[in-house]
Amino acid sequence: MQPVLTDNPYVIATTIGLVALTDLFDGWAARHITKNPNKGGAYLDACTDKFYALALIIPAIFENPLLLTNGFLETIIALVNRDTVKKGGEPKSTMLGKIKMWPLSATIGLSYINMAANSEVINKLITLGVITTGILEVINIIQYKKQAEEGFKKKKLIDKVDDMSLEE
């Protein structure tokens, strides 16, 4: 496959590295923009992370279909968070979710670099990255579901206490 903008692997790696660095700042920006360090900002942070990952994964799938796995799992994470919000919950990024973005970014970056390099060694690293990131994504999905359930239980308990206070 012919690279979209350049066949220089150094330019590709630098560009993707700079884009990946934005992950460090998007959480702060999301919370600052919404002026809410919890609800809106946390959700906006989660959305920007998914947009970032999927925007880079989708074009790379044509070069390496294995990345479909990560794209699918990132979509599941987004849907779990969306359902949590729909039910009145507040999804929050987990530490594993933040850590998982780095091997995912490296795997995606290697995929773009390999469009120019066409290296068997890089292909093996990409496969290892897809597997490693996939495992982290599955664990992350479980964490988000557990976090949502705990949040709903806590909210029900608070609502019950509030109802008891109103009855008195």
Give residue-wise pLDDT tens across range 4-45.
556 676 776 777 777 667 666 766 666 666 565 555 666 666
- Answer for the pair 119, 15: CB distance below 8 angstroms, yes or no: no
What does the alpha-carbon distance between residue 115 and residue 12 come to, in Å, rounded to a whole number? 10
Position 14, amino acid: T
DSSP for 88-107? T------HHHHHHHHHHHHH
Position 19, amino acid: V
pTM of the full predicted structure?
Answer: 0.74
Judged against a pLDDT cut of 70, whether residue 115 lies above it is answered with: yes
Note the pLDDT of residue 62.
83
Note the pLDDT of residue 1.
45
Note the pLDDT of residue 7.
66
Output 109 or 66, whichever has higher pLDDT.
66
Note the pLDDT of residue 23.
66
State phi, psi for 7 to the nearest 5 degrees: -110, 15
